[in-house]
Structure 1
Amino acid sequence: MTALVWFKRDLRIDDHQPLYQAAKSGAVLPLYIIEPDYWQQSDVSLRHWQFVAPALHSLNQQLSALGQPLLVVKGPATAVLRQLCRQFNISAVYSHEETGNLWTYQRDLAVKRLLQDLHIPWQQYRQFAVFRGLTNRDNWFKLADNWLKTATAPAVNRLPFLTAASWDLSELTPERRSDLALCTTIQSAGAARHTFNSFISGRCDNYRQHISLAAKAVHSCSRLSPYISYGQLSLRQLQQQSYLAMKQASTQRRQQGLQAFFSRLRWHCHFMQKLEDEPAIEFFNMHRGFDGLREADFNPAHFAAWRHGNTGYPLIDAAMRCLLACGWLHFRARAMLVAFASYHLWLHWRPLALHLAQCFVDYEPGIHYAQIQMQAGTTGINPNRMYNPVKQSQQKDADGQFIRQWLPQLRQVPDSWLHTPWLMSKSLQQQYGCVIERDYPSPIVNLQQAQQLARARLSLWLKQHDQQQWQQQQQTVFSRHASRKRPPTNKRRAARGQLSFDW
């Protein structure tokens, strides 16, 4: 008996239920497919491949140590699987469930039809606390907690040798006509376990205090997101090990840091469940009453300035330029980028989502689209987060360390002017080597006017709609997607359909 294990976004051997189950039946063919059409999707970029390629080498080393190397093949999944199932007389295919973009969903449907035609069973296992066919969220937290506490899959100690797998990723690199530049610095795909250990043993001490501070978050955040997104680390193992470390913490500060991390890690699957329950949120507003709100007013010049970090607001631009270079940002900066573009620039969230998906090395579709819509204010059940970029800059990067790192033209500007350089006199601009419109752009919009206009547009939009239908749609969204641990005050506010602004 030969079982095929299809690795997708689960590039590890620890807590790998498909690999464990397949190994019990006999010989195993471990497979990763490089799908050319996938790499042409509008939410994908080669900087993702920049992380995946070394992750595949690492996985191959782990599998080779067990006795059977990884097979990497380039081509459409259905064609590759058809050929291999016949060549190796495959008795069953094993994989993890995937909550991906629409393309991967349609690909999985095609694979399902193929394997049914070939009379080969496809065994899929849960990788996250995400449940297919869930009718509502009422019992989700209990289901998730129960699954995350279950024992992890036993280790596979040996795989009988089946076939040699020789491949050169330089020859298999996906092609893409136009793309973002590759990251100038990127997290090492081979440092997953080291990154986790360094966090729970020390870096977590400042997690709670520094998670939203631009210059400090890069060191105090866990930095585990790409390893979770591509499955190099098991989320279930992380939950259990983080909880154990929290209970064994030697100091109160460390315990509090790990408790805050554990709490936020818990929300990972909550957001993934949203896309699993409603794949359409990749393309459409969660609350369909917002259809038409921003589409007609989309400003390409504003979008271009935002995506290149040229808006004239230092913290906004520094965050975007950091992301373009490194492929990672802390959460507050991600939220601020989307909120500024959605409200102050009045841009529709879909182009923002595609650009950021290509930028984020840790792009996880199941989290990405729900978070983008939450920050853009189109869920109908979350408050409108209209961040003030100047206030955020003064609070989250008071000494300008982050801004000066990513905006070298502002390095000589003193703290008193750094967050609002356009207010400097001409003589001060010359003195500090930052002439507005020559060295750094002036603000793309007037902050106060843009804020007032956004609030007025939202208020008018709500008044123009039938309130009963609006609230019915809100209730539908709430029933399908809302956390059942939301404070009662927010529930009542959502039910009333009131707009609120989180400054």
Structure 2
Amino acid sequence: MKRSLIWFRNDLRLHDNEALAKASQADEILPVYIFDPRHYGTTSFGFPKTGSHRAKFLLESLDNLKSNLISHNLNLAIRIGKPEEILPDVIEKHGIDLLFAHKEITREEIDVEEKIKQSVGDKLNFVWGSTLFHINDIPFTKNEIPDIFTQFRKKTEKQSEARKELGFRKDVKLIPDVETESLPSLKELGLKATPKDDRAVLNFKGGEDEALKRLEEYFWNQDQLKNYKYTRNGLLGADYSSKFSPWLANGALSPRRIYWEVKRYEEERQSNISTYWMIFELIWRDYFRFSAWKNGDRLFFAPGIQGKDRSWRTDPKDFKKWAEGNTGIPFIDANMRELNATGYMSNRGRQNVASFLAQNLNIDWRMGAEYFESLLLDYDPCSNYGNWAYNSTVGHDPRNRYFNIINQAQKYDKKGEYTRNWLPELEKVPEEFIHEPYKMNPEQQTLYSVEIGKSYPKPMINLEESYEEIKARE
């Protein structure tokens, strides 16, 4: 192998990158990233497929990847267009012997892969690198992946081992005289930058360097890993949870790096339920990906993997109230406003807003999933659609499950600090009414500087009545 090409996709790192490890065995290498215009179109319900939050994070990640490659006397060739048109042309023009890329498993990505395969044939080599456990190491064939997470986790924990990290050959040479384009701006991608919001739990910045810095900070400097299980449902502040997910999503951080750092932490500091729980959550992430591999396109259809025949609403006015954080239910509104402003929302918040949209409002869960796809920094199709289906009773939990929103708010935002942070119009409302301000009488509203129906909306539905409707669906 004299010349190889590595096609970076959702693996924007140098550490533990199997595609890079294999490509670097050549005499000369060409790293390439392609901006596919289809990623910047619209979803089926008309949302921007990649919104400004995630696009900015991606551009930062690519800028950092390029810098890190340059530090090893390499570079990153940037192209704009369809990969199935660009890659065969580059391969022919520069005499590439083999093309290496990480395999994806959902429809849009597979379609592109198959078109490339048709053009370049055996020159295309796929590797697996998005999960903690390698696809060849799990104790299941594709069709044997269990429909219940616990069954997957228990058998995988017993019979699988996380592989060691992979390095790459540092003295590999760069293929010379390759034309490249500069990184596009948000404007060139058809997007408008969202102003920075100081209320964000963390100033997320894309890139492998930032990912490894966050890992060091959370595990070692702040020593938060030992508390993870007990604080991970927090809503305010940087360190109640790891916040690794945005870097995991675009591959700036390897799940195996997290795993082996947990193991090092257990050896050097302590091993407890929290250190295990960090790995537990990585296995959940694996499960969503392997389940998507098994279930294919069913993951994206309204009946979900359950094949449930349920009548969904698509009311644009009601959806808009949910999306903009104007439902009149403070806990829902606070979470949605955080998402809109920052591109991030806690796992606890995600479960509640998903349950509210799909269960209380009975609005097609795929509208919510596509809205998240547009906005989330940490979007990946398997986890996003898997979680939405799960919370909409068409996924991995067949029960007619739903969240009691007020109970959740009172449990996880007891004093209302998170809610007031994102709903300044309720700033003076006391703990007693913060999650149900509509229960205040006019005099109390005047006293606490809020007018329900004017400065803050009335509830769009009666929650208790909606819970009865949910129960009636069983």
Give the TM-score of the pair, scaled to structure 1. 0.83
Q: Could you say which residue in structure 2 is the equivalent of 1:463?
A: none
CA displacement, residues 183-223 of structure 1 (integer Å, 9 cap, x when unaligned): 6465011410111111112122432222113225x422101
Structure 1: distance between partners of 2:57 and 2:279: 25
Q: Could you say which residue in structure 2 is the equivalent of 1:414?
A: 430
Change (3 A) 1:199 1:348: same
Q: Could you say which residue in structure 1 is the equivalent of 2:381?
A: 365
1:210 aligns with 2:231: yes
Structure 1: distance between partners of 2:315 and 2:212: 44
Letter of the structure 2 residue corresponding to residue 234 of structure 1? S
Contact 2:4 2:96 in 1 (8 A): yes
Match of 2:281 among 264, 268, 272: 264
Structure 2: distance between partners of 1:74 and 1:298: 35
1:192 aligns with 2:211: yes
Match of 1:304 among 297, 315, 320: 320
**Could you tell me the percent identity over the aligned residues?**
22
Structure 1: distance between partners of 2:335 and 2:123: 47
Deviation at 1:348, TM superposition (A): 1.4
1:285 aligns with 2:303: yes
SS of residue in 2 equivalent to 1:54: helix
Structure 1: distance between partners of 2:15 and 2:187: 26
Structure 2: distance between partners of 1:445 and 1:148: 49
SS of residue in 1 equivalent to 2:71: helix
Structure 1: distance between partners of 2:311 and 2:13: 42
1:248 aligns with 2:261: no
The aligned runs of 1:22-61 (5 Å cut-off) are 22-42=23-43, 43-61=49-67
Letter of the structure 2 residue corresponding to residue 36 of structure 1? P
Deviation at 1:358, TM superposition (A): 1.1
Give the TM-score of the pair, scaled to structure 2. 0.88
Letter of the structure 2 residue corresponding to residue 369 of structure 1? Y
Q: Could you say which residue in structure 2 is the equivalent of 1:451?
A: 467
Letter of the structure 1 residue corresponding to residue 128 of structure 2? R
Structure 2: distance between partners of 1:68 and 1:154: 15
Deviation at 1:169, TM superposition (A): 1.7
Contact 1:412 1:433 in 2 (8 A): yes
Range 196-205 or range 322-331, more displaced: 196-205
Letter of the structure 2 residue corresponding to residue 20 of structure 1? A
Q: Could you say which residue in structure 1 is the equivalent of 2:248?
A: 228
Change (3 A) 1:376 1:28: same
SS of residue in 1 equivalent to 2:97: strand
SS of residue in 2 equivalent to 1:285: coil
Q: Could you say which residue in structure 1 is the equivalent of 2:176?
A: 163
Range 304-313 or range 79-88, more displaced: 79-88
Letter of the structure 2 residue corresponding to residue 198 of structure 1? E
Structure 2: distance between partners of 1:109 and 1:416: 58
Q: Could you say which residue in structure 2 is the equivalent of 1:471?
A: none
Change (3 A) 1:171 1:137: closer
The CA RMSD measured in Å over matched residues stands at 2.3
Q: Considering fraction of residues, name the structure with more helix.
A: 1
Structure 2: distance between partners of 1:172 and 1:211: 33
Letter of the structure 1 residue corresponding to residue 189 of structure 2? E
The count of corresponding residues between Structure 1 and Structure 2 is: 447
Letter of the structure 2 residue corresponding to residue 34 of structure 1? F
Change (3 A) 1:287 1:161: closer
Letter of the structure 2 residue corresponding to residue 110 of structure 1? K
Structure 2: distance between partners of 1:334 and 1:360: 11
Q: Could you say which residue in structure 1 is the equivalent of 2:458?
A: 442
Contact 2:52 2:186 in 1 (8 A): no
Structure 1: distance between partners of 2:378 and 2:396: 27
1:125 aligns with 2:127: yes
Change (3 A) 1:168 1:317: same
Contact 1:3 1:25 in 2 (8 A): yes
1:348 aligns with 2:361: no
Letter of the structure 2 residue corresponding to residue 249 of structure 1? R
Contact 1:212 1:396 in 2 (8 A): yes
Structure 2: distance between partners of 1:215 and 1:433: 24
Which runs of 5 or more residues in structure 1 are unaligned? 460-503
Structure 2: distance between partners of 1:271 and 1:166: 36
Q: Could you say which residue in structure 2 is the equivalent of 1:11?
A: 12
Change (3 A) 1:288 1:391: closer
Change (3 A) 1:384 1:156: farther
Letter of the structure 2 residue corresponding to residue 131 of structure 1? I
Q: Could you say which residue in structure 1 is the equivalent of 2:142?
A: 134
Contact 2:245 2:378 in 1 (8 A): yes
Letter of the structure 2 residue corresponding to residue 285 of structure 1? P
Deviation at 1:143, TM superposition (A): 6.0
Change (3 A) 1:287 1:121: closer
Letter of the structure 2 residue corresponding to residue 322 of structure 1? E
CA displacement, residues 213-271 of structure 1 (integer Å, 9 cap, x when unaligned): 3225x422101001111111111221122123124324x7xx33322212212211111
Q: Could you say which residue in structure 2 is the equivalent of 1:66?
A: 72
Q: Could you say which residue in structure 1 is the equivalent of 2:163?
A: 150
Q: Could you say which residue in structure 2 is the equivalent of 1:403?
A: 419
SS of residue in 1 equivalent to 2:266: helix
Contact 1:46 1:182 in 2 (8 A): no
